[in-house]
Amino acid sequence: MEGETTLFYHSNSFRKFLKHLLQVEDYYLLATKNGKIMGALPAVLSRRNLGKSLNSLAFFGSNGGVIEFEGSRQVRDALLNGFYNLGKKMGCLSATLIGSPFDKNRESDIYYDYLDERMGQITDIRVFSEKKNDIDNFGLFTRRMIRKATRHSIKVEINNGKNAFDFLKERHYENMDEIGGEKKPPAFFSAVKNHLREGREYNLWMAYKDSDPIAAMLLFYFNRTVEYYIPAIIKEYRSIQPSSLLIFEAMKDAAKKGYFYWNWGGTHLDQDGVYRFKKQWNTVNVPYYYYIKVYDEKLFTYSKEVIKKEFPYCYLLPFNKLRS
């Protein structure tokens, strides 16, 4: 990893955000040499009735893993040993490390029992300063979607007000109900406004048709990367593509402010439609991995439903490994 590719999830603000939202304990590991910090590894510990779990990091697949800038295997191994030894020392059921899509290293299997793969996709938004017609940076399908929204006189703007966040929450819940997806907890939306800095660490982009809100998109910002976090839309307006125009205008705005990368987040390998949509935005594929160490065999005897209830927003192991 290079210094410019540390993510929002590695930030101190996100650490405080997670502690408040999930009621977890933070264990951020540092590797030092002669008083100089050589690397770090963020982690949170969850204590529940069934036991404890260690994650780097928690909450909807937030990336964690090793932060190290000089390519030192010694530093990397020290941090990995520290993380998995901490899980054992604390008596955890399991410890899971989620790598960054920017991290080109593949951890050795001496550290983990199970591996779970995700496909990350990144758009380099620096191209916006290199071409006269920005829309030509993308695939034909994306260009058509952006132009369609423009023809329907969709207007977009940043709106971090309460009404805009209420719209985001309500539409998010409707959209997740529609596809059977997992919803962000109600406390998430207030925690964003209470614990993160408006305009610097987050922005809520809104799309309007005839002055009525029809779509929203929550973005997180840190270092050189924009995190595409929550899109939401009134389903009746999907056909006129307001979300595509939101993404396009937000990308241009971020590039102008000095950001380099647009991180689309992880995609499960079987989510073909989601993958193809992102691919049309001139993305680069960057696979990354969940590295899972199981310490207590009783974890295999629990059901998926019990684990999700006891450890919401934490990753303990692949559910296809359960015996029940």
Looking at the structure, do residues 128 and 200 belong to the same domain, yes or no? yes
Is the model's pLDDT at 250 over the cut of 80? yes
**Mean of the pLDDT values across residues 298-309?**
96
In b/e form, how buried is each residue of 157-188, taking b as 16+ CB within 10 angstroms?
eebbeeebbebbbebbeebeeeeeeeebeeeb
Looking at the structure, do residues 226 and 105 belong to the same domain, yes or no? no
The token pair that represents 25 in the structure block? 């304990």
Confidence band for 129, pLDDT divided at 50, 70 and 90: confident
Looking at the structure, do residues 252 and 164 belong to the same domain, yes or no? yes
Does residue 160 sit within a domain? yes
DSSP per residue over 289-308, as a string? EEEEEE--GGGGGS-HHHHH
pLDDT of residue 153: 97
Q: In sequence order, which ranges of 110-223 are alpha helices (DSSP H)?
A: 140-151, 162-179, 186-195
Least confident of 118-127, 128-137, 233-242: 128-137
Is the model's pLDDT at 131 over the cut of 70? no
Looking at the structure, do residues 114 and 126 belong to the same domain, yes or no? no
Reported as a single tens digit per residue, the pLDDT across 260-269 is 999 999 988 7
Looking at the structure, do residues 173 and 221 belong to the same domain, yes or no? yes
Helix and strand numbers, DSSP H then E, in the chain: 8, 14
Looking at the structure, do residues 258 and 145 belong to the same domain, yes or no? yes
Average of per-residue pLDDT values in the chain = 95
Looking at the structure, do residues 154 and 17 belong to the same domain, yes or no? no
Does residue 23 sit within a domain? yes
Looking at the structure, do residues 105 and 127 belong to the same domain, yes or no? no
**Structural domain count of the chain:** 2
CA distance 6 to 102: 8
Q: In sequence order, which ranges of 180-298 are alpha helices (DSSP H)?
A: 186-195, 242-256, 272-279
**Mean of the pLDDT values across residues 77-104?**
97
Q: Is residue 255 within 8 Å of 129, Cβ to Cβ?
A: yes
Looking at the structure, do residues 249 and 314 belong to the same domain, yes or no? no
Q: What is the CATH number of the domain that holds 115?
A: 3.40.630.30
Does residue 272 sit within a domain? no
Looking at the structure, do residues 248 and 142 belong to the same domain, yes or no? yes
CA distance 262 to 198: 19
Is the model's pLDDT at 130 over the cut of 80? no
pLDDT of residue 271: 83
Least confident of 135-139, 235-239, 262-266: 135-139
Strand order, beta sheet including 67-68: 29-33, 36-41, 67-68
Confidence band for 212, pLDDT divided at 50, 70 and 90: very high
DSSP per residue over 32-80, as a string? EETTEEEEEE--EEEEETTEEEEEES-STT---S-EESS--HHHHHHHH
Does residue 274 sit within a domain? no
Reported as a single tens digit per residue, the pLDDT across 170-204 is 999 999 999 999 999 999 999 999 999 999 999 99
Does residue 273 sit within a domain? no
Which domain, by its residues, includes 242?
122-267+279-284
Reported as a single tens digit per residue, the pLDDT across 16-61 is 999 999 999 999 999 999 999 999 999 999 999 999 999 999 999 9
Looking at the structure, do residues 184 and 316 belong to the same domain, yes or no? no
Mapping DSSP to helix (H, G, I), strand (E, B) and coil, where does residue 106 land? coil
CA distance 274 to 159: 26
Looking at the structure, do residues 115 and 126 belong to the same domain, yes or no? no
Confidence band for 69, pLDDT divided at 50, 70 and 90: confident
pLDDT of residue 2: 57
